[in-house]
Structures are given as C-alpha cells and as structure tokens.
Structure 1
Amino acid sequence: MWSVPLRRTQLDDVRLTALFFAVGAALQIAGLNQVSGLLSDRFGSWLPWVTLTVAAAFQLLRRDRPAAALAGTTAVLTVDVVLCPTVAVWIIFSDIVYAVACYGSQRLVGRLYVLCAIVSAAVVVLLAAAEQPTQWRTVFVGILWVIALIFSPLAYGHALREHRTAAEVQRQHARTLATLADHERVEAVEEERRRLARDLHDVIAGQLSSIAVQSAAALDNPALSDRVLGSVRTISVEALREMRAMIDLLTDGTVDRSRATSTLRRADRLIEPVTGSGTDVELRCTPEVLDPPLPPLVDITAHHILAEALINATKHAPGQPISIDIDIAGDDLVLVVTNPLTDPPAEAEPAHTARGITNMTTRAAVAGGTLAAGPGDGAFTVTATLPLRTAGHPTDSAKEYP
C-alpha cells in the first residue's frame, strides 16, 4: 500500500477537478457539450475529450500555481473555440478565472483582467462576424455567456479576496490589540510593584532606620534612653497604623481616613522622634501652608518627602541640626530640608541601592513637581517643588486650593 501525500487544499482541488470533469463528460455523452453552428465542428468525435482532459489537468493547479493554470486553460480554450467549441472547457475556464481572482498575486490578477477583456471582446466579435439570419440574438446570447462564465466568477473571486483580506486585517488588528493589552497589563503590574516598593520603603525601611538611629543615640548617651524609648514607641505605632491602612487598601480598596497620618499637619510626629534622639530641628512654616488645607496629592507627597529627608539626615549626619522650610511660592509648595555635611564614618555600612532619593524624586514627579537633592556649601539640601494646581484641584490663586 502506498499513498501520495497531499495537503487538504490539494485534495479539495482534486475533488473539484473530478467533479468538473464528470460534468463535462456527462455533457459530452448526452450530446450537450459541443456548441454547434459556431465555426467548425468537424472534430466533434474525439477532440472534446482531449480538450476536456487537458483543461482538467491544468485545473489541478488552480490554487498552488494559478498562473500556470490560467495560461494552460487559456491555450486549451483558444484551441477549443477555433476547432470545436464546447461547454465543458468554458466551465473549467470560468473556475480558473475565479481561482486566479481569489488566490493569485496582485500582478497576476491585473493580467487576468486584461485577458478576460480580450477573451470577451473576441467572443463578441466572432459572434457578430458569423453569418446567421438572427445575428443580434446570437450576439445577445454571447454577451450573456461572457457575463455568466467570465465576469460573474471574476467579480465573485474578487469579492471573496477582499473579504479574506479584510478578515486578515481584522485578525492582525485583534492580535495587535491583544499584544498591547498584554504589555499594558505587564506595565500596570510593574508600576504597582514599584508603588508598593515605595510605600513599603516609606513605612518599613524609613521607620526602622529611624528606630536604628535613635537606638544608637541611646546607646551612646544613656541619659536619652527614656526619651528614645518613647520616641521608638511613637514611631512603631505610626508604622503599624500606616501598615494597617496599606493592608486595608490592598484587601478591599478602602482606607479608613481617620487613621491617615500622611499630612503636613502631622509634621510634628515626624520631628518629635528626631529631636528625641538629641538632634535639633528647626521648622519654619508659613500659615498659608496649613490653612486652607493643601490638595491631598500635594499634602501626602510633601509628607512622605519630608519623612524620607529627615530619616536620611539623621542616618547620614547623626547629631547635626536640621532646618525645614515650608512655604508657598506663587502656585507651588516649596519644601526645603537642610543639614550640615559630616565626614563619613571609618567603617561605612555595606553598599546598597539608594532608594530614598529615587523614591522622593518619583513621588514629586507623580504630583507634577520636581525634586533636587545633593550637597552644596557644606550642607546637604533637599528641595521639593510641588504645584498646587493639581489635576482635579484647579485653583486661581495659591490660597484657593480645596
């Protein structure tokens, strides 16, 4: 047992060709195949079978090699029309016209239009030149013949080709949208991870760093133990409150606003642990900052930046005085935290990724502002400029934010 491996499309072409050959054979046997009365019919006994067989052989190539199928059937049709016109060859040529219009290249389709126009014109001219008493009726029948066997399959194949092209464009568009949606989903997940990392850094790393700094101060100066323990407790309670708020937000998307502590009105709670460890902190804040209230986005952002700046100051310049200036300049809230620079300790801490300044810069950018941090004139300065005209909080002046 052996078999010829064929693709599904090739098997479909074989079945279709067999069907067309069977129809042509039935027409020939029934005596309905030959178009008598047109040109010569002296080859009517055997030539129709030859033209039918050769045309069917070229029809097998209709989908894989449409150019060869079109050229072959056109040649067979020419011989058939000149020597012995038959219906079967015209029917096969009609199917090849449809196949080329549907599966052929753009260049081949252009040639097909030219060929169909030439064949149609030739048929009409031959019929008009034939010597028949009812010449106009013959020409009319010929025109209907051309429309049915040439232009109808040509138009149907073109329409099917356009529909398939449009469907492919829609599928490509859908794949593109799906790819974009996947990228957006990945970006959203990454952005959420970065946001959670910033929040955890503010709540956990910041508070733990503050506790570590104050504990070190208490070890160096036992007289500060009571104050440091009280400060550590305050910091721990605030950290727990922030963690509960974050857990509530991640669990059901709600936050108990009564537990919210991220506001400049609570700046004293950021300063008290620092002063408790023996560091002098000077706060200069204009009344306009607290009354009327700041826009929530600006208020929360400024609070987190101030907390991070204080932690960095106490960590990298322990015991050095810190000055805080909070003011409104035009339509911007300006926060400046300054502390003197000190020589680095002999045994530096292990190197790690400095996320503090990065997080402060990111928070300022999210609020539409800017942040500059760096040494200069013997001091380290953090300057945050946050616009009060935030989205959803339009204002006409610096004192009209909600």
Structure 2
Amino acid sequence: MAMAIPRVMRSASVAVLVAVVDAAVVFPGWDGWPSAAQVVAIAVVAGLAAWLPVVALLAALVLAVPGGANALLVWTGYQVGRQVVSRSGIVVAAVGSVGCLGVQLFVLSAPPGPVVSRYVIFVALPVVLGRYLAQQRRLVSAREAQRRQSRREQALHERLRIARDVHDSLGHRLSLISIQAAALEVTELPAKQREAVLELAASARQALDDLHELVGTLRDRGMPESRSLGGIDGLAAEFRATGAPVTVLREGVPAALAPAAYRVVEEGLTNAAKHAPGQPVTVSLRAEGDTLLVTVRNPLPAEHRRNANGRTGHGLAGLDERVRLAGGMFHTASSDQEFRLVAMLPLTDAIEEAEPEVPASRRRLWVVALTLTAAAIVILAGPASMLGGLGG
C-alpha cells in the first residue's frame, strides 16, 4: 500500500501534464465544453496508462482520430512498449493501431502522408523506446543477479574453507582435550583436584559443542533462499515429539518465509527445550505491513527464573547477528513468569535480494523528456501540417 500511493501520485502528475500539453498545443481555439470534455478524457486515459497500457493506447487512438491527443499517444505508446510483454497484448495494440489508421485513411479520407507520419512519430517510436528501455532494465537486473550469485558462491567457498580448517585443527585438539578430561573424571583424585577436573571436563565439552555449532553454521549451504510455513510446522512437530507442547500461531503470513525467520523459531524452540524442558512454547508469526513479527515465548520454571536474564549464549548472539544482517531487529525479554524472544524482519528478505529498480529521478526524467519531445514535435511541425488532411 505504501508503494501504491507514490505510483498514484506519479500517474496523476503525468495525466495533468499530458492534458495540459494537448490542451495548449492542439486546442488553441478553445470552444467550450467539447474541448473541456476531450481534455478530461485525455487526462483520465493518461492516468490509467500505468495500469492498463493496452486499453489506454486503444482509447488514445480513438481520441486521436478527429485530431489532437498527440502527447497522450506518446505516453500510452511508451507504456505499452515498457510494460506489455505478452504476445496477445502486443497483437491487440498493433491491431488497434492499424484499425484506427485504416479509419482515418479509408473512412475519413485523410491524406496518407501526414497521417502515417503521425502514427510513426507518436505511436511507433514511443513503443520502440519503451520496449528498448524495458529490455535494458531487465538486462541490468539479470547482470546484477549474476553478480550477486557470484558473490554468494565466493562467500560460500570461503566459509567452507574456514570450516574445514577449523574442524581439522581446533576440532582435533579439542576432541583430545575432552577425551583426556573425561578419563580424569573417573580417576581417583582428592576432592579439590576432582572439582577442578570436573570443571575442566565441562568446559572442554562446552568448547567442543560450540566449535561444532560454529562449523555447522559455516557449512550451512543447504539453506534455501526461503522457508515455507510447512518448514516451521515441521520444526514444531520435531519438538513436540520430544514432549514439548508447541503451538504455532500465524496471521497474514506469506507462504514463503525468509531463512532468518526459520532460524529465529529454531533457536527459540531450542532455547526453550534447554532452559524450560517440558514447558509449553508458543510461536507467533504475524505480518504487519511490510514487516514480519516473530515471537517465541515460554514459561520459566522456578529454578531458572533467577538466571533468565543471563541467557545470552552463542546461539542467541549469533541469531542477533543473523537478524541484523537480514535488515531486522532482535531482542529477548523475561519476566518472573515468562521468557520471550522477539524478532522483526522485512517480509522481502534482505534488501540485497531485491531486483534493482530504476531510480525515481530517472523515471521522472524519461516522462518529462517524452512529453516535452511530443510537444516540441507538434509545435515545430505545426498542427495544421500534421492534421491538414483532416480539415481538407
């Protein structure tokens, strides 16, 4: 909705500009209500060209049969070339143009030279220009998508290399330390040394778990560009199988979700299973405008409430980084009874994946240039010379 308002404003501005140009150039002798009605019709058709280009072109051709509406022909022809890609739309526009040309030549007996020139200048050329600019835009988008894919592949190769190096070096050494610490745990030792060994063994196992988590994250190349709601439901089913009651609520959520949204739910369920095993967990997915609000909350057992504020392990820290990279915000909150994990994510997952749009300033420049070109041609050629056959 937010993007539709500027589009409506642009269309209204262009419609007014086209109507003013046609009124000033084609109707120097204003004859009251008939001229006013034609100008209003020109403005309406010009405003609809952005949404219904073929219909707008056909209406412009009809309005142009008695003469005038040259700026409208330029604008609607440009929109047809820019937007229409289907063969049926092109055929309808071509048949309509040829039909109106035939009416002027064979029914109204207009001189062929000026009429054909008018159609070439005000209809054919804008269509060709619009088609050329549209193809250029698609080409630029394709090249940009190829560059993004190349950057992703390079980043993936680097991540895999780092994962291999970390696993082969630190993984091996930490595994040895963990095994040796486990052997010391079953050895008869004085109480003081035994306590230190237990702490050492626990730290070694935690370090090994953290390393495996890091390597797994670096090797996470199988993550698709988007996750479906079925993936969230499957994740919830896995946790239900372990005995944790999980409820998934959704409101206005699209079928495809960003990978970061899936990771938020996954980490929230894992966190709840670790700190509040067996407690009910509620996952909420709600779309608010162009934002996806993901919430995972669970009750806190009494023995974990005093430590709830300290739950900022590597998983949550990594999740915070992932959400920020996706253009969102992440935070956790806890009360005496409940722990809550909240993430706000853009529904159009990471801005990087969106196709680059033509800047608004460039679009306005093309609109103004086309309109001024049409006006200049009409003024230089002269309405009488372009439409002389219609009056004779």
TM-score (structure 1 length as normaliser): 0.31
* Larger Rg computed on CA atoms: 1
Higher relative contact order (CA 8 A, sep 6+): 2
